[in-house]
A = this chain, B = another copy of it.
């Protein structure tokens, strides 16, 4: 079993130096997010991660959630842990105090989420999904719906789910067949949904399902999908629970990981049809889903980050403890952390994790600004930036999360392959993150089609120009590390810019070319933008050191980590750029029958 220690110092460095917590706290509505309050919120959330959530993670994996007599029993310790969540109103952290929330920035929520996902991803999916449901109802529901459902969802007394996928409708939601038949002031929902996270459980007295379904007269495809609220127990006007609704969990999936997160097949309308309430207007369901997509995808990106940090901590602890041979350059038997190849793995993991954390927090801050900035132009700028980052954060952080979890297994050697060690659980858990909430391919197509091609690359070019500008500045400094970072960053940004131009030109030639280029392009952007954040971190660390900050070892590490990333990771940019351009031309050269 692996332990987890919240990396509060690293997190606070990023919040302050890179994500601009001070600026975010100054946004209207976030006045209470003072540095002291934020620090104490993070400390308490970290304590819960370390002491409540992490210790039940391995047992949850072993026992899993179970379906017994039509109801899901969560894993040992889950109910107690969930009570802690409700007692602290943690689900409500980023939500309106009007509904019982804490009213804190999404940026702070992201930092809390990192720790909880690291500590126990299978558990934290539950409050994460509830936050998604709150977002949906808050943005798209009626005032009456908000009044009826939000207070209990915000406190976590009830939980929420997203019912999108059907057996024949995964990435293509246009194929949804679940039906919604109008019946007075509500609808009757019937159909089967799969892959419903926490579709049933014993943590809360009610579950509010958000369900995509098709009304009788709906046009085919994505334009005929509507969004419905389908409570497990109907809710009376006074908020009390009424009759059991006609929605049931009929089975749970056996998955590679996140065993303790019940992944349910949900059946709607086995009897008369489940009572559902239309959210907003008919046929606008997909549009409403997109409203909360940015938050949902950011949250999955955070899972990639969190699990990578957890896996890294496990690998580091093992490497410091395990003695095996005399590392080259050492006179005596030493822990394997002194073997250069083990050190290489740990350095690369740490560098990529710090790059991810910075990009995730910066993306969360951009969402806050996009929603709260008093200046409309600044809101719009922040929105474009946040939307560009969103698929990158989701795709790049989850792919890296899997790779880092796999490297953590490798650092453990043979012990890594033994389940009791705990390293493989992180790998197994992480493997879902590049799949759900839109696969990496879906993210990449979102990046290319919606975030790049729609504005002819303007936003992306602007972001890359910021990177190049910093690179030029660093390359001129009288310091080997900064010069190397500047040089590597300049080359990588140029590769990204050339690939961007290529993709835009290729779209006119054959739209399959950008689609074939999309994933390497996404990884290229992640690699470059992550490197940019590490370079910013190095600059901030240098400034603090020059200003006499006594945390010299900590700050020195920021410089070295940025340097290592610049020399070991950023050079991947040219291979990614080649795959995204020349490589895209070879993707469709075979007939499917030749594969």
Q: Mark A577-594, 1 if CB is under 8 A from B, else 0.
A: 111001111111111111
Select the residue from A420, A427, A513 with max chain B CB neighbours within 10 A: A427
A343 to B592, CA, bound (A): 8
Q: Which residues of the other chain, B, contact A560 by a CB distance below 8 angstroms?
A: 586, 589-590, 594
* Contacting pair B340 A515 (CB below 8 A): yes
Give the residues from 325 to 347 in chain A that come closer than 8 angstroms, CB to CB, to chain B.
Answer: 325, 327-329, 335, 337-344, 346-347
* Contacting pair B424 A256 (CB below 8 A): yes
**A445 to B, closest residue via Cβ:** B341
Which of B255, B327, B511 meets A329, CB within 8 Å? B511
How far is the CB of A398 from the nearest CB of chain B, in Å? 11
Q: Which residues of the other chain, B, contact A595 by a CB distance below 8 angstroms?
A: 316, 337, 346-347, 350, 557
A144 to B416, CA, bound (A): 40
Q: Which residues of the other chain, B, contact A593 by a CB distance below 8 angstroms?
A: 553
* Contacting pair A255 B418 (CB below 8 A): yes
Q: Which residues of the other chain, B, contact A445 by a CB distance below 8 angstroms?
A: 341
* Contacting pair A431 B441 (CB below 8 A): no
* Contacting pair A414 B165 (CB below 8 A): yes
A324 interface hit (Cβ, 8 Å):
yes
Select the residue from A316, A340, A563, A582 with max chain B CB neighbours within 10 A: A340
A571 interface hit (Cβ, 8 Å):
yes
Interface residue stretch chosen among A109-117, A168-176, A204-212, A240-248: A168-176
How far is the CB of A4 from the nearest CB of chain B, in Å? 16
* Contacting pair B413 A170 (CB below 8 A): yes
* Contacting pair A254 B572 (CB below 8 A): no
Give the residues from 161 to 188 in chain A that come closer than 8 angstroms, CB to CB, to chain B.
Answer: 165, 168, 170-172, 174-175
Stoichiometry, copies per complex: 2
* Contacting pair A343 B571 (CB below 8 A): no
* Contacting pair B328 A512 (CB below 8 A): yes
Q: Which residues of the other chain, B, contact A556 by a CB distance below 8 angstroms?
A: 594
Which of B175, B402, B589 meets A563, CB within 8 Å? B589
* Contacting pair B515 A592 (CB below 8 A): no
A564 to B350, CA, bound (A): 32
A16 interface hit (Cβ, 8 Å):
no
Which of B409, B435, B564, B573 meets A410, CB within 8 Å? B435
Which of B255, B342, B431, B592 meets A406, CB within 8 Å? B431
A586 to B594, CA, bound (A): 44
**A341 to B, closest residue via Cβ:** B441
How far is the CB of A512 from the nearest CB of chain B, in Å? 5
With contacts A172-B324, A320-B592 taken as known, whether A571 is within 8 angstroms of B579 at the C-beta atoms is: yes
Q: Mark A410-422, 1 if CB is under 8 A from B, else 0.
A: 1001101111100
Select the residue from A172, A327, A414, A561 with max chain B CB neighbours within 10 A: A414
A445 to B336, CA, bound (A): 14
Q: Which residues of the other chain, B, contact A591 by a CB distance below 8 angstroms?
A: 553
A593 to B320, CA, bound (A): 9
Q: Mark A551-581, 1 if CB is under 8 A from B, else 0.
A: 0011011001101100111011111011100
A141 interface hit (Cβ, 8 Å):
no
Which of B343, B427, B589 meets A588, CB within 8 Å? B343
Q: Mark A189-227, 1 if CB is under 8 A from B, else 0.
A: 000001100000000000000000000000000000000
A418 to B588, CA, bound (A): 29
* Contacting pair B575 A338 (CB below 8 A): no
A436 interface hit (Cβ, 8 Å):
yes
* Contacting pair B343 A441 (CB below 8 A): no
A266 interface hit (Cβ, 8 Å):
no
A428 interface hit (Cβ, 8 Å):
yes
A511 to B339, CA, bound (A): 11
A105 interface hit (Cβ, 8 Å):
no
6 new A-B contacts, CB < 8 A, other than A339-B515, A410-B441, are A256-B417, A256-B428, A340-B518, A553-B593, A557-B595, A563-B586
Enumerate 11 A-B pairs (CB-CB under 8 Å) in ascending A order: A175-B325, A254-B418, A256-B428, A341-B444, A341-B445, A410-B434, A428-B428, A567-B578, A571-B577, A571-B583, A572-B575
In order of increasing CB-CB distance, the 10 nearest A-B pairs are: A571-B578, A568-B583, A172-B325, A340-B516, A340-B515, A341-B441, A572-B575, A564-B586, A256-B424, A567-B582
